[in-house]
Chain A
Amino acid sequence: MAVRDEPLTRPRGAVHEWRGLAGLAFIGLLIGGALLGLVAEGARDPSGARDAFDPYLARVVRFTLLQAILSTLASVLPAIVVARALSRHGAFRGRGLLLRLFSVPLALPQIVAALGVLALFGRAGLLADLASASGLGHWPSIYGLSGILIAHAFFNVPLAARLLLQALDTIPADHWRLASQLGMAPWSTFGLIEWPAMRAALPGIAGLVFMLCVTSFTIVLTLGGGPAATTLEVAIYQALRFDFDPARALVLTALQLGLTIAIVWLLARLGADLAGETSIAVSRRRYAAIGGVETLFNAAVLMLALAFVGGPIAAIVAGGLEADLGRLIGEHAVRAALATSLVLAFVAAILCCLLTFGLVSGRKRLEARRRSSPAGLAERLMDSGTALVLVVPPIIIGAGWFLLLRLFADAFAFAPVMVVCVNAVMAIPFVVRAIRPAHDSAFDRHDRLCRQLGITGMARLRLVDWPVMRRPLATGFAFAMALSIGDLGVIALFGSEQVQTLPYLLLARMSSYRTADAAGIALILAVFCFLLIMLAERLGGEKR
Chain B
Amino acid sequence: MRIFTLLTAAATAAFAQVASADTLTVYTYESFTAEWGPGPQVEKAFEAECGCDLEFVAVADGVALLNRVRLEGEATKADIVLGLDTNLTTAAKATGLFAEHNIDTAAITVPGGWSDDVFVPYDYGYFAVIYDTQQMTTPPGSLKELVEGDAGQKIVIQDPRTSTPGLGLLLWMKAVYGDKAGEAWAELSDRILTVTPGWSEAYGLFTSGEAPMVLSYTTSPAYHMIAEDTERYQAAGFSEGHYLQIELAGLTTRGTENPLARQFLAFMTGPAFQDVIPETNWMFPAGKTSEPLDPAFSKLVKPQETLLIDAETVEANRQAWVDEWLSAMSR
Given contact pairs A118-B210, A492-B60, A513-B223, A111 touches B201 in the complex (Cβ within 8 A)? yes
B162: A residues at CB distance < 8 A? 221, 234, 237-238, 241-242
Q: Are B30 and A59 in contact (CB under 8 A)?
A: no
Residue of A119, A238, A492 with most partner-chain B CB within 10 A: A238
Q: How far is the CB of A75 from chain B (nearest CB, A)?
A: 22
Given contact pairs A124-B208, A244-B70, A515 touches B326 in the complex (Cβ within 8 A)? no
Given contact pairs A494-B67, A494-B71, A510 touches B200 in the complex (Cβ within 8 A)? yes
B77: A residues at CB distance < 8 A? 410
Given contact pairs A218-B197, A411-B71, A122 touches B210 in the complex (Cβ within 8 A)? yes
Q: Are B210 and A227 in contact (CB under 8 A)?
A: no
For chain B, give the interface size range: 35 or more
Task: Say whether B68 faces chain A, with CB atoms less than 8 Å apart.
Answer: yes
Inter-chain contact count A-B, CB under 8 Å? 150
Q: How far is the CB of A416 from chain B (nearest CB, A)?
A: 15
A123 to B200, CA, bound (A): 19
Q: How far is the CB of B45 from chain A (nearest CB, A)?
A: 21
Q: Which residue of A lies closest to B34 (CB)?
A: A508
Q: Are A227 and B208 in contact (CB under 8 A)?
A: no
Contact of B36 among A223, A244, A514 (CB under 8 A): A514
Q: Are A495 and B58 in contact (CB under 8 A)?
A: yes
Task: Say whether A78 faces chain B, with CB atoms less than 8 Å apart.
Answer: no
Q: Are A222 and B201 in contact (CB under 8 A)?
A: yes
Q: How far is the CB of B93 from chain A (nearest CB, A)?
A: 14
Task: Say whether B300 faces chain A, with CB atoms less than 8 Å apart.
Answer: no
A406 to B194, CA, bound (A): 39
Q: Are B208 and A119 in contact (CB under 8 A)?
A: yes
B189: A residues at CB distance < 8 A? 226
A225 to B192, CA, bound (A): 8
Task: Say whether B8 faces chain A, with CB atoms less than 8 Å apart.
Answer: no
CB-contacts of A489-516 with B (<8 A): 492-497, 504, 507-515
Q: Are A241 and B195 in contact (CB under 8 A)?
A: no
Q: Which residue of B lies closest to A237 (CB)?
A: B162
Q: Are A218 and B210 in contact (CB under 8 A)?
A: no
Q: How far is the CB of A463 from chain B (nearest CB, A)?
A: 46
B57: A residues at CB distance < 8 A? 495, 497
Q: Are B68 and A511 in contact (CB under 8 A)?
A: no
Contact of A511 among B154, B199, B326 (CB under 8 A): B199
1/0 per position for A120-151, CB-CB distance to B under 8 A? 00111000000000000000010100000000
- A interface size (C-beta, 8 A): 54
CB-contacts of B39-85 with A (<8 A): 56-61, 63-64, 66-68, 70-73, 75, 77
A42 to B295, CA, bound (A): 52
1/0 per position for A322-338, CB-CB distance to B under 8 A? 00000000010100000
Task: Say whether B124 faces chain A, with CB atoms less than 8 Å apart.
Answer: no
B201: A residues at CB distance < 8 A? 111, 114, 218, 221-222
A515 to B210, CA, bound (A): 15
Contact of A493 among B60, B73, B159 (CB under 8 A): B60
B91: A residues at CB distance < 8 A? 244
Q: Are A228 and B203 in contact (CB under 8 A)?
A: no
Q: Are A507 and B63 in contact (CB under 8 A)?
A: no
Q: Are B198 and A226 in contact (CB under 8 A)?
A: no
Contact of B197 among A217, A410, A493, A496 (CB under 8 A): A217
Task: Say whether B227 faces chain A, with CB atoms less than 8 Å apart.
Answer: yes
CB-contacts of B198-245 with A (<8 A): 198-201, 203-205, 207-211, 220, 223-224, 227
Q: How far is the CB of B166 from chain A (nearest CB, A)?
A: 10
Q: Which residue of A lies closest to B220 (CB)?
A: A513
Q: Which residue of B lies closest to A492 (CB)?
A: B60
A495 to B82, CA, bound (A): 15
Q: Are B67 and A115 in contact (CB under 8 A)?
A: no
Kindly list 15 other residue pairs between chains A and B, CB separation below 8 angstroms, not including A56-B323, A222-B194, A222-B205.
A124-B209, A143-B193, A217-B197, A221-B197, A221-B201, A225-B193, A238-B161, A333-B34, A402-B71, A406-B75, A412-B72, A508-B31, A511-B30, A511-B31, A513-B223
Residues of A participating in the B interface, judged by any CB pair closer than 8 Å: 56, 59, 111, 114-115, 118-119, 122-124, 141, 143, 217-218, 221-228, 234, 237-238, 241-242, 244, 331, 333, 399, 402-403, 406, 410-412, 492-497, 504, 507-515, 518
Can you list 23 pairs linking A and B with CB atoms under 8 Å apart?
Answer: A115-B205, A123-B209, A124-B208, A143-B194, A218-B197, A222-B197, A222-B201, A225-B194, A227-B159, A234-B161, A234-B197, A406-B73, A411-B71, A412-B72, A494-B68, A494-B71, A495-B58, A497-B58, A510-B200, A511-B61, A512-B31, A512-B34, A512-B36
Closest 5 CB pairs of A and B: A495-B59, A124-B209, A510-B200, A511-B200, A228-B330
